[in-house]
Amino acid sequence: MLMRTVPTAMVALLLSAVSLLAADLTLTQTCSSRGHEEEQTQLWSSRFMRINHPESQVDFLVDFQQGVSYGIDHRKKLIQKMSWDDLELATEVSRERLKTLPPLVLRAMGLSDATVRVEEQGTEILLGHECRKWKICLGPMIIETSNDPSVHPPGPALPYQRFLRLQTLLGQLQPAPAPAVKMGEELAKVQGIALNYRVVLPVVGPSTTTTTRIEEGPISSSAFDLPPDYQMEDAGRKMLENLGCGFNFRAK
């Protein structure tokens, strides 16, 4: 599924505090994973966040006002729409199903009694910005990040907080909600934009994203437009159908 191809983008969101007073923000970044490097551009406005990947031609757009995320595949001319309501329902259904698995299976999946730990590890200078270094652990997932607390991407606070919570739940689904809730609380301590971060995920392995340029200033609204001639697919509905949730269940 296209919506599953953007784990690095999700981490970038999780490590960025938002501020209604901040200017539009453009970040040029280099991403590396499994020996492969590619460039990406991250755009922030008061309503949208978009990550463009010129090499893969798969972009990611978040509409904080509508509560919707989009995966945009330019090669396939396909847009996959994910409603946050659908995402929240899917995480609830998945968690309930995890509760039925034996403890031995949960441990093998790394989903049993996950501990949450956030450690501050000093400072470093990146692009002339003084950054605070953090190490964040949730069970087998490890995040090492350097954040500049003086630079904040814009965005509406309450919708962003909901999105952060949902992506935390999706990124480290647990049969009980406590670890993911704790992760959200701990991440709130990590203020400012992440200029460098490394993520280690089970099975996926490590990935690193390094910011090479920061620009503050107005971004044209057209930069966040969806291609009008692409096919639109309701990825949220398909996900719920795969979980055995029919239309009537979704309507509730």
- Domain positions in the chain are 2-251
- H helices of 31-102, in order, are 84-98
Give residue 189's pLDDT.
76
Q: Which of 20-24, 30-34, 64-68, 70-74 has the lowest mean pLDDT?
A: 20-24
How many CA within 13 A on the CB side of residue 12? 27
What is the model's pTM? 0.76
The answer to whether the CB of 147 falls within 8 A of the CB of 14 is no
Mean pLDDT of the residues in the chain: 78
Mean pLDDT within 90-104: 63
**Beta strands at 58-63 and 68-73: parallel, antiparallel or unpaired:** antiparallel
Phi/psi for 232 (5° steps) reads: -105, 125
Is the four-CA dihedral 129, 130, 132, 133 of positive or negative sign? positive
For residue 44, how many other CB atoms are within 10 A of its CB? 27
The answer to whether the CB of 98 falls within 8 A of the CB of 175 is yes
Residue with tokens 């647990």: 174
Confidence grade of residue 153 (pLDDT, cut at 50, 70, 90): confident
Can you name the CATH fold of 2-251? outer membrane lipoprotein receptor (LolB), chain A (2.50.20)
Question: Count of H helices and E strands in the chain?
Answer: 7, 12
Give residue 142's pLDDT.
85
Query: Which two tokens mark 157?
Result: 């606070």
The answer to whether the CB of 13 falls within 8 A of the CB of 164 is yes
Give the single-character DSSP code of 227.
Answer: P
